[in-house]
Structures are given as C-alpha cells and as structure tokens.
Structure 1
Amino acid sequence: MKKLYPLFLLTLLLSGCSKDFLKRYDKRIIGTWELYDVDRRGLGGDLDRLGFTGGSFVFAEDGRLTWTNPETGAVYTGVWDIDRIDNTEGSAIRIMNIHVTNFSTQETRSELFEEMQFTGTDRFKAFIYSGLHRYVFRFRR
C-alpha cells in the first residue's frame, strides 16, 4: 500500500497542472495578448522600422486579428497565421505572420516573425532575424 502513495501523489499533481503545452500553437494563442517588450540584440537595427513595438493583440480562432495602437488608440483589424516548419535536426520551428489595417486611415502594418516560442501558459516570445541583429518580442496575457 505504501508503494501506491507516490503514484497517487504524482497523479494528483499532474491532474492539477495546465495542459496548454499539449495544445497546438494556433490554439494556444487564441485570446488577448499584450506586446510589452521589444529587445534589439546584436549589431545595427532600428526599432522605428518595426511594424509593432507595443499594444494589445486579440487573436480570434478563425484567423482574424485586432490590434490597438498604444500611442494613438487606433484600432486595426486583419489576419494572423502560424505555420510549422520541420528542420533537418528533427525539431519544428513555428513562424507567425500578422497583417492589420486601420480602415479609417488605410494604414497597414505587418510582420513576419521567423520563430515563436511559448515560455509559459501566459507568455510567448517571437523573433525576427535580420543580418547581424535580431529582435525579441515578448507577449503576455
């Protein structure tokens, strides 16, 4: 009977944990996310050339996207997509493409994130690689 206690405890612990890590990326991203930090690493690069440096993103299940510009409060609508690319080492890389338009001003913004990684249930990072530098975008719920 004492041998069953560790098994029971392990089962109890696992049943209480979030199962988000088992979901596909396109299911995990559904909801509202805040872009709260953008880091530039390496030589060169300019944050002013990026389409997004902050704001609130709402990812809908059908691929629709709403972004609120934190500087002006303007609302942009558009689409998002996540693709999986299998590399030669046997692992997979997820890329995310987002495109939004403010229909009042006809201004469009888009970004291709060349890699994204969930770092927890409520956080993920997206990367853009450009020459000798890269940008790291941090999102949270």
Structure 2
Amino acid sequence: MSWVANVMVSVDLDDGANVAALSMWLRAEAPQRGQPEGLGGRGVGYLHRITGPDTQWGGWKYPECEVWAGALNHADLDALRQRIFETRWRQPNAVQLLVMDQEESFFRLWMIRGNELRQFAPLVPNEEDDDFYQSY
C-alpha cells in the first residue's frame, strides 16, 4: 500500500544545487512516515527539475525560477519541511514548498519568512467541508 504526496519546490536560479541535494536526501536518507527515528525504511522518492531549456512551459520565455517536482511515497512531511527550513538557501525568501498529500485536493504552500517556515495556503477549505463548495 502506498501513501503519495505530490511535492513541488520553487527556488531562485542560484539555489538549484540545494534542491538537487534535497532530492538526493529524499532518495536515500529521508525518513518514511510513521517510522521512529533511526528505524524503518529510508528514501521516499526524488524530485525532478521541470524547468530549463529541455522542458516545455507555455509562453515564449523560459521561467526565471527553478521548479522541481516529485510524487513521494510514505514521506515524513514534517521531516521534509524541517529539511527545507534548515537548508542554507542562497535566496531563502524565494523558496516555496507546495505539498498535496494523499487524499487532499489542493496544494498547501510553505515559505521561509524570518526564522520560521510558514504555511500560506489556508487550512480551510477542508476537503470534507461540503458547505464551502455549496457557497460558490
């Protein structure tokens, strides 16, 4: 059985190497969801760069950021957020982490501001909240 989290990381062009290192950590060292520290499986997938001259985006120009994406399996998302926060980014205010966990219907956005990683997407609408959808 799997538990998939769709993840995208957008960073300044100067931080591509940091995302590549994050991807290697996800592949080989990242803890799996629900496993005690030091026990259980390691590695939950990896991120792939989806911007650059070898990729196709709409428009006539190349993006002015680097975006990496992946579908992670059994990822400990708290550990991922902590790793994002602790990375020594060259442009920390440009870092955006977007996560859509299994059974969720929209991405949540996390950004580094000051001395914390903050969620900017709302906690609601909740996917279970029928009243929200009926109001539109």
TM-score, length basis structure 2: 0.34
Q: Which structure has greater strand proportion? A: 1
TM-score, length basis structure 1: 0.33
Q: Which structure has greater helix proportion? A: 2
Bigger radius of gyration among the two: 1
